Amino acid sequence: MTLRVLCVFLLSGWLSIYAAALPIPENGPALRIQGSNTIGADLGPALVEGLLQQQGLLKIHRETPDTANEQRIVGQTAQGQRVIIEVAAHGSSTGFAALKNASADLAASSREIKDSELLALQTLGDLKSPAAEQVIAIDGLAIILNPANPLEQLNTEQLARIFAGEVKNWEELGGRGGAIHLYARDDQSGTYDTFKELVLSRRGKSLSSAAKRFESSEQLSDAVSADPQGIGFIGLPYVRQAKAVAIADGASQAMLPLNSLIATEDYPLSRRLFFYLPPDSRNPWAQALASFAQSPEGQAIVAASGFVSQTVQAMSVAPNALMPEGYQSLSRHAQRLTVNFRFAEGSASLDNKARQDLARVLDYIKRNGKTERAVTLVGFGDLKDDPARADLLSKLRAMAVRRELVRNGVVMREVRGFGALMPVATNSADEGRIKNRRVEVWVY
């Protein structure tokens, strides 16, 4: 499917796949989902419930078998036939293993599929194709302190050293209060998995054994709020009475965990949540659930579950002295959309999330009457030895997005390139360089 055809298909109505009545098997579950605990604990089941409601099923409820981290979501037809969807949430890797041994129809993952997994599953088709790799939500973590702690920001290197126990006193960070007290979620937590992946593992660190561990997000947040020397990490819905600090990565500006900055993936502690379904799959329930997750109804469930949805909105950006003058001028007169277009590694081609986002951006532009010279694209890149090359590449990326918008009837106002300025991540790692290669969308 070409990108243009994909956009037309998506814009013609997200309901096209899952609105039709789905076949109900006579025996066994209609769909088996395995993988991430972050998704499988609540978000995945909530999306399943939404799909079952769209299918007109009755008496929808969850059943918990004896095995931990597993659920059955059950509905009933008007004729009394039970429809069962199984969700097993034992970790992202288990989802790909289950696809390989045919014990799952869809894998839920809180990370991108690994090259080794792609190779092992190649008989199922290309799991990196747009139809197979579906970004369903964006996740983000807040770093919280006691409200009386005067520190306003930290960087990811400091965070890794703090939670590894290498930085032991607040005075080492320019603060006050003596010994640092660490608070962390337990090993079964998807929140802990996220923090470990984004902060500790990337720097070869492990969580200090001195950290107090919590099963409950609410209890962890309240414990930090009550401890003047405490620091913890938590999912966005659970900041409560604690103080969230701004986080920087490399040379990026420090950013607070705002929904808008997580939606654009600028905030350093943000990550994508995925569904992976084999392109050769003949289970219509898997395809229908993936389609439902991308729909406005599905994304509303994402937001209600405490994650950040991919629904496109316009946001005002306050100009500041760290911005180039041209960017400051833009921020005074236009609004930025809550989406960044990013590119496949080592490529000028849009990645799979960008392909999905293109349909959402086009829908926003057309619904809000912005098709005639009201859209400006702004490209950025990673640091190059030659600044002129970085400038050129940043504008070429913006031009790649422009081509797709123009094909779909949008008359652009302007295309700008700012090179390697305003990084959102460190350029010393592949993950950071990929995040810095981005295109922003601004509307007047």
Q: Are residues 77 and 114 in the same domain?
A: yes
Q: State the average pLDDT over residues 78-103.
A: 95
User: Side by side, which strands form the sheet with 414-417?
Assistant: 314-315, 335-342, 438-443, 375-380, 414-417
% of the chain at pLDDT higher than 90: 72
Q: Are residues 386 and 420 in the same domain?
A: yes
Taking only the tens place, the pLDDT of each residue in 273-312 is 999 999 888 899 999 999 999 999 999 999 999 899 999 9
Query: What is the per-residue pLDDT for 2?
Result: 52
CA–CA distance, 405 with 237 (Å, rounded to integer)? 35
Rg (CA), the chain: 22
SS3 93: helix
Domain membership flag for residue 45: yes
Query: What is the per-residue pLDDT for 110?
Result: 86
Q: Are residues 424 and 354 in the same domain?
A: yes
Q: Are residues 294 and 253 in the same domain?
A: no
Domain that holds residue 290: 3-132+277-304
Q: Are residues 401 and 343 in the same domain?
A: yes
Domain membership flag for residue 219: yes
Q: Are residues 126 and 144 in the same domain?
A: no
Domain membership flag for residue 229: yes
Taking only the tens place, the pLDDT of each residue in 196-246 is 988 999 899 999 999 999 988 889 999 999 999 999 999 887 899 999 999
Query: What is the per-residue pLDDT for 11?
Result: 44
Q: Are residues 128 and 222 in the same domain?
A: no
Domain membership flag for residue 193: yes
Taking only the tens place, the pLDDT of each residue in 20-52 is 689 999 899 999 999 998 899 899 999 999 999
CA–CA distance, 337 with 340 (Å, rounded to integer)? 8
Tell which wins on pLDDT, 147 or 11.
147
CA–CA distance, 326 with 146 (Å, rounded to integer)? 38
Confidence of residue 347 (pLDDT cuts 50, 70, 90): low
Q: Are residues 372 and 417 in the same domain?
A: yes
Cα angle: 195, vertex 312, 244; to 5 degrees: 35
Mean pLDDT of the chain: 91
Domain membership flag for residue 352: yes
The answer to whether residue 397 scores a pLDDT higher than 60 is: yes
Q: Are residues 249 and 170 in the same domain?
A: yes
Where does residue 411 fall: left (phi above 0), alpha (psi -120 to 50 degrees), or beta otherwise?
beta
At 14, which CATH number? Answer: 3.40.190.10
Domain membership flag for residue 268: no
How deeply is 386 buried, as exposed, middle or buried, from its count of CB atoms within 10 A (0-12, 13-18, 19+)? Answer: exposed
Query: What is the per-residue pLDDT for 304?
Result: 94
Query: What is the per-residue pLDDT for 343?
Result: 81
% of the chain at pLDDT higher than 70: 93
Query: What is the per-residue pLDDT for 378?
Result: 96
Cα 171 to Cα 150, 165, 183, 225: the distances in Å are: 11, 14, 19, 19
By mean pLDDT, which of 306-320, 388-402, 428-442 is the weakest? Answer: 428-442
At 417, which CATH number? Answer: 3.30.1330.60
Domain membership flag for residue 266: no
Cα 397 to Cα 301, 336, 339: the distances in Å are: 32, 17, 15
Do residues 246 and 255 touch, judged by C-beta distance below 8 A? yes
The answer to whether residue 399 scores a pLDDT higher than 80 is: yes
Q: Are residues 230 and 292 in the same domain?
A: no
CA–CA distance, 252 with 432 (Å, rounded to integer)? 10
The answer to whether residue 405 scores a pLDDT higher than 80 is: yes
Domain membership flag for residue 321: yes
**Which pair of tokens denotes residue 309?**
């949805």
Q: Are residues 294 and 316 in the same domain?
A: no
What is the domain count for the chain?
3
- Domain's final residue, options 199, 226, 260: 260
Q: Are residues 39 and 100 in the same domain?
A: yes
Query: What is the per-residue pLDDT for 9?
Result: 44
